[in-house]
């Protein structure tokens, strides 16, 4: 049975914030840091952690927007919910946020249930971008980025800084992320054997989110299969 709890993480400037943790029935395993969409550590992100824990991973989702007030989580799916999430994301300090996630990754590595095993990172939308930045700056053992926005604008230094195995998922029918951006990522990483870029036919944005009207089961199941195989190869 998967068990859950909250962990208090300390940032490098002394600020503290919470992380939702899901632990597998075995009581231990490799770690996966799960980075939220713009809607906080809501039921969907908690479900992703539980999915990973059911596969044997210790999963932790930190509160990325804690510096704007702890505990932000939106489970509604209407236009007003999108506005709330965009409002938080627009005020997010990117550099500070990446540093906080570096502290969260280190905290996850230090959990007794992880016990020196490998640790990966994955994220969705906003979290997909942050996954890419964490992979560039903190060298996790593996990374999976789902439809990360703006990555195409942040490719400077990618060949030198992005050294861990990383898997990108994109839809080819995403109104928020043009195919030209995916092409730029492919071109910039074409010579990098550690990088895989997958694109899914008729995939829109947030296709993995089972709590959202954007959910697309065919694309979600295919991408999840690639994700789990990728983590099995690279994390154990």
Q: Domain map of the chain by residue range?
A: 3-235
Superfamily of domain 3-235 in the CATH hierarchy = Alpha/Beta hydrolase fold, catalytic domain (3.40.50.1820)
Q: How far apart are the first and last CA of the chain?
A: 20
Tell me the mean pLDDT in the region 54-83: 92
Residue 28's pLDDT band (cuts 50, 70, 90): very high
Please count the other Cβ atoms lying within 10 Å of the Cβ belonging to residue 86: 12
* Tens digits of residue pLDDT in 30-41: 999 999 999 999
Per-residue pLDDT for 89 more than 80?
yes
| Dihedral of alpha carbons 160, 197, 90, 44, sign | negative
Residue 43's pLDDT band (cuts 50, 70, 90): very high
Tell me the mean pLDDT in the region 228-232: 98
| Closest among 128, 71, 138, 68 to 101, alpha carbons compared | 138
Instruction: Report the relative pairing of strands 58-62 and 119-124 from DSSP bridges.
Output: unpaired
State the pTM of this model.
Answer: 0.98
Tokens of 227: 């994700």
CA distance 40 to 50: 16
Q: Provide the pLDDT for residue 81.
A: 80
CA distance 198 to 68: 34
Q: Provide the pLDDT for residue 34.
A: 99
Q: Provide the pLDDT for residue 80.
A: 73
Q: Provide the pLDDT for residue 168.
A: 98
Q: Is 146 helix (H, G, I), strand (E, B) or coil?
A: strand
CA distance 70 to 199: 35
Tell me the mean pLDDT in the region 82-110: 96
């Amino acid at each position: 049975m998967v068990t859950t709890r909250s962990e208090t993480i300390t940032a490098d400037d002394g600020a503290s914030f919470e992380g939702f943790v899901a632990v597998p029935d075995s009581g231990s395993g490799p770690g996966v840091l799960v980075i939220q969409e713009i809607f906080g550590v809501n039921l969907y992100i908690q479900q992703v952690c539980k999915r990973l824990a059911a596969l044997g991973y210790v999963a932790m989702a930190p509160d990325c927007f804690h510096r704007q007030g702890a505990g932000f989580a939106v489970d509604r799916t209407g236009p007003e919910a999108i506005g709330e999430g965009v409002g938080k994301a627009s005020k997010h300090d990117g550099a500070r946020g990446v540093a906080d996630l570096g502290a969260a990754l280190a905290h996850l590595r230090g959990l007794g249930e992880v016990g020196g095993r490998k640790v990966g990172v994955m994220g969705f939308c906003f979290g997909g971008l942050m996954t890419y930045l964490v992979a560039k700056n903190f060298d996790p053992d593996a990374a999976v980025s789902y439809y990360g926005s703006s990555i195409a604008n942040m490719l400077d230094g990618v060949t030198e800084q992005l050294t861990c195995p990383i898997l990108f998922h994109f839809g080819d029918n995403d109104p928020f992320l043009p195919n030209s951006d995916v092409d730029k990522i492919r071109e910039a990483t074409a010579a990098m054997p550690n990088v895989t870029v997958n694109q899914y036919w008729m995939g829109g944005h947030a296709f993995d989110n089972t709590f959202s009207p954007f959910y697309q089961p065919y694309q979600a199941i295919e991408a999840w299969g690639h994700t789990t195989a990728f983590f099995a190869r690279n994390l154990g």
